[in-house]
Structure 1
Amino acid sequence: MSVERANTLTAGWASVSPAGVFSAAVVYPLLALLATVAGGRAAEELRAVAPTPLELPVRGALGVWTREGTPLTLDWAARCDPRLTGDPAIDRPLLDAWAAAQTGAPVPPLPPFGPDDGLVLASALAVTADWQEPFTDGVLRPADGPWAGRRVASLHRRGPDLSAVRVAHTPAGPVTLLTVAGTADVDVVLCTAGGAAPPGAVLAAAVTARPAGSSRPPSGPCITKGLVDAADPEPELVVKVPRFAAVAAHDLLGLAEVLGLGAAAGAGTFPGIGPDALRVTAAGQSVAAAFTGPGFRAAPVEPAPRVQAPVAAATARRLRVTVRFDSPFGHLTVHRPTGLVLMAGWVSDPEEAQ
């Protein structure tokens, strides 16, 4: 239930603000916690978005911070140490160091918080996984679309597993979904409608998409099929995708309606935290992601090594299915055992090839 509600939150965020990278999953547990200590309309809004707790299956930084001098209930006081001083020169390094220590990986600085902030929500996430089958570096040269004429730094891979690519029929139209399997129970799902629908609609649809079942190789956006000369008749899947990296710092109060924080930004709504009037005065998230040759990284992109494959003499014809992401596309980082979408984002401006 919690995973489904967290994924619904991801879809809602995507539909209104499809950023380069964001994580509703790491915000959801904070909202569920606040729902247990809020009162009145704030509690109703928070429970509507996050009615049940969720334990993240990966390391993340999640915190509700209060300012020194704010009266707290005994229960809440036991959870809140250290507390914010109100001095940004002290609090900002404190929060950034906390985020790095909790995630165990480099993340961008958290959004700024002011000296008068009484209740601060802070979250950060960095996910790392190696690909089960690595990519090699290449160059994409889109012939049409928004990237036409550009030389895009890309990653290429080929193999026999045609089941990695699927097509889902969604409210945004047909959406091609490519699953790139990683280690540590993490997969990355790339999604595209080939420019036929807005980014938010495609990304939101991909979160809950149910691919069309078929024993035949799928047909959909950015997929081509054909017979080619080969050493054996086994079908082949070729993947060409831009290398990408994204870092982002989000002001979550800008998404207050989506996250159920509208009334929480009012006064006197958290009796479970303290007796005085208290409201959420700041809410921020930092998140980083990079799709590289060896794997999915929460760090800058490093080029993948080039591998020269021997060319065997052609003795047969094989079916080649090519998935080519040569126009803006989305990405979902998914925890394989639970289906929880850990991160999501939209790639609109690819890296130029050197």
Structure 2
Amino acid sequence: MRRASTAVRAETVRAVNRLTSRWAGTLGTEGGVLSAAGVWPLLAFLADGAEGPAREELEDALGIRADRAAEAARGLLGALGAMRGSAAAIGLWTRPGLELRERWVKGLPEATLGRFTGDAAADRAALDAWAGERTGGLIPTMPVSVDERTRLVLAAAQSVRTRWLQPFAHDALTPRSGPWAGRELDGLWRSTSLLDRVGVAGTDSGPLTVLKVLGDTGVDVHLLLGEEEMEPGAVLRAGIDVLSGAARAVPGDLLPLGEPGPGVTVRNARSYGRAPELTVTTSPFSLTAEHDLLRSAELFGLGSATDDRHGHFPGISDAPLAISEARQSALARFDAKGFEAASVSVMGAVAGGAALPPPYRVRRVDVRFDRPFGFLTVHRTSRLVLTAGWVAEPVDHVFEEWDDTEEFEEDAA
């Protein structure tokens, strides 16, 4: 779906980022990726049709009143779909015989509407095809099971792709300390004169280093490094605090000499040019995750809504409905040239030789992400967090074997 503007209300951004922060707090040290921006619209449309305790719990999870939730979700989906390199879609499938409120269905923006056939294989294929098509093949299967009890499936797909304004170069990475110490890893490296791309913030959880990697579609990735003992959830929440302005980051050009933040070294160094230097070393990553949202049902406002002894959504249908499944599949990839991420969320009811010494002394800031770190994918204008994640495992460097025989044969020829 495309819109003329990427504008999204500040209230909606705060609400989605609040859910991101709360959900990120549940991530463990094993790493993973999540997208509250993919789940929030589904919760909003459910809240629009809910009554009783289910409505109240959904309102609390959303951070916005239920009577405004559907409108906010439509605005969010429109903004996501209008961002360059981004896509968003809603799908709704129902069992034949289930009649839905026309007002509620019309409130789903440009939704794919489908009916289950009763043929399990055909229905599974249709759902998977929708997920793959709407995420450009990044998420090839719909994370939901459909059986004879399933009456309704409501799904949201979201994807984003961006290329770095300044690509990285490949380099080997050998951490000197921390959990990755002594390993030969694939690394990424680049240098710039823009010191304000990195900053160090004092947060409630401790000091946090934030590096902004700018994309060409107005979507950036913020790499986050806390002290080694900081939990993943604390690092990600601190990153969102910096994004919202609740915590202030001191930019690289104002940092004191020494080691003013995690992974950061500031010094004066000789240079052949007058410009300051920021050098970045990090690790590429590729993450996938499968989330069962009902394991944290209260976090998503789905506690009461799962009680199948009662119906909770009279605004959706006269037929009593309860949530039987709530899941998300998510993916994120970061490499030398760019970044891509996607999610499908579902609610189921039911150098040279010697030279002269450099003539200038300049400020040089070095930042290394060579131990577990977090990241946020951020829409630059609205500051909406699209995905969040934790990189627990790096990519090992693969050394190519030298083929002496082949070289000898070429020389002999």
Instruction: Name the TM-score, length of structure 1 as normaliser.
Output: 0.90
Kindly indicate whether residue 124 of structure 2 is the aligned counterpart of residue 114 of structure 1.
no
AA aligned to 1:180 is V
Q: Which runs of 5+ in 2 are unaligned?
A: 1-10, 81-86, 343-350, 399-413
Moved more, 72-81 or 240-249: 72-81
| One-letter amino acid matched to 1:96 | D
Kindly state the Cα deviation for residue 105 of structure 1 after the two structures are TM-superposed: 4.5
The 1-side partners of 2:355 and 2:132 are apart by: 48
Q: 1 or 2, which has the higher helix percentage?
A: 2
Post-superposition shift, 1:205?
Answer: 1.7
**Range moving further from structure 2, 237-246 or 164-173:** 164-173
> How many angstroms apart in 2 are the aligned matches of 1:311 and 1:6?
55
The answer to whether residue 239 in structure 2 is matched with residue 206 in structure 1 is: yes
Equivalent runs, 1:14-29 vs 2, <5 Å: 14-17=24-27, 19-29=31-41
Which structure 2 residues correspond to residues 147-158 of structure 1 after superposition, within 5 A?
Answer: 147-158=180-191
Question: What is the SS of the residue equivalent to 1:259?
Answer: coil
Contact 1:108/1:286 (8 A) holds in 2:
no
Distance 1:165 1:232, change over 3 A: same
What amino acid is aligned across from residue 90 of structure 2 in structure 1? L
1:61–1:99 contact (8 Å) kept in structure 2: no
* Distance in 2 (alpha carbons) for counterparts of 1:231 and 1:282: 61
User: Structure 1 stretch 67-76 or stretch 244-253: which is displaced more?
Assistant: 67-76
SS in 1 for 2:121: helix
Matched, 1:61 2:97: no
2:283 corresponds to which of 226, 233, 242: 242
2:115 match: 83
Question: SS at 2:166's partner residue?
Answer: coil
* Distance change (3 Å), C-alpha of 1:196 and 1:135: same
CA deviations on 1:246-269 (whole Å, 9 max, x unpaired) are 122322222311111111112300
**Counterpart in the other structure of 2:83:** none
1:330 deviation in Å?
0.3
Q: Is the 8 A contact 1:117 1:282 kept in 2?
A: no
Q: What corresponds to 1:284 in structure 2?
A: 327
Residue-by-residue CA offset, 1:52-74 (whole Å, 9 max, x unaligned): 31313331233454333323233
Tell me which of 46, 50, 58 is aligned to 2:58. 46
Deviation at 1:274, TM superposition (A): 1.2
Give the direction of change, closer, same or farther, for the CA distance of 1:223–1:213 in structure 2 (3 Å limit). Answer: closer
Q: Which moved more, 1:170-179 or 1:18-27?
A: 18-27
Helix, strand or coil at the partner of 1:25: helix
CA contact (8 A) 2:54 2:303 kept: yes
Name the residue aligned to 1:222: 263
Q: Which residue of 2 aligns with 1:353?
A: 397
Question: 2:377 and 2:298 mapped to 1: Cα distance?
Answer: 24
Aligned to 1:303: none
Percent identity of equivalent pairs: 43
Q: Given the alignment, which residue of 312, 317, 326 partners 1:274?
A: 317
- Counterpart residue type for residue 138 of structure 1: D
The amino acid across from 1:270 in the alignment is: F
Alpha-carbon distance in structure 2 between the residues aligned to 1:265 and 1:310: 71
* Other structure's SS at 1:208 match: helix
What residue identity is the alignment partner of 2:178?
G
> Which structure is larger by alpha-carbon Rg, 1 or 2?
2
Tell me by how many angstroms 1:195 deviates: 1.3
User: In the superposition, relative to structure 1, how do residues 142 and 250 fare at CA in structure 2: closer, same or farther (>3 Å)?
Assistant: same
* TM-aligned CA distance change 1:108 to 1:227, over 3 Å: farther
- CA RMSD of superposed structures (Å): 2.3
1:177 aligns with 2:210: yes
Task: Report how many aligned residue pairs link the two structures.
Answer: 346
Q: Separation in 2 of the partners of 1:84 and 1:309?
A: 67
Q: Which runs of 5+ in 1 are unaligned?
A: 300-307
Tell me how far 1:86 sits from its aligned partner.
5.1
AA in 1 matched with 2:20:
T
Tell me: CA distance 1:91–1:49, structure 2 relative to 1, closer, same or farther (3 Å): same
Residue identity in the other structure for 1:231: Y
> 1:101/1:317 Cα in 2 relative to 1: closer, same or farther (>3 Å)?
same
Moved more, 244-253 or 24-33: 244-253
Shift of 1:154: 1.2
Q: Please, what TM-score do these two structures have when normalized by structure 2?
A: 0.78
- Supply the AA of the counterpart residue of 1:341: V
Sort the Cα spacing of 1:61 and 1:291 in 2 relative to 1 into closer, same or farther, 3 A. same
SS in 2 for 1:233: coil
User: Would the alpha carbon gap of residues 312 and 270 (structure 1) be closer, same or farther in structure 2, given more than 3 Å must change?
Assistant: farther
Query: Aligned match of 2:44 in 32, 37, 62?
Result: 32
The AA in structure 1 aligned to 2:95 is R
Q: Which amino acid aligns with 1:90?
A: A
Q: Say whether 1:261 aligns with 2:295.
A: no
Residues 287 and 60 of structure 1: CA distance in aligned 2, closer, same or farther (over 3 Å): farther
Secondary structure (helix, strand or coil) at the match of 2:298 reads helix
Any idea what SS the aligned residue of 2:114 has? coil
Q: 1 CA distance for matches of 2:92 and 2:24?
A: 24
- Give the match's secondary structure for 1:26: helix
Instruction: Determine which structure has greater relative contact order: mean sequence separation of CA pairs < 8 Å that are 6+ residues apart, divided by chain length.
Output: 1
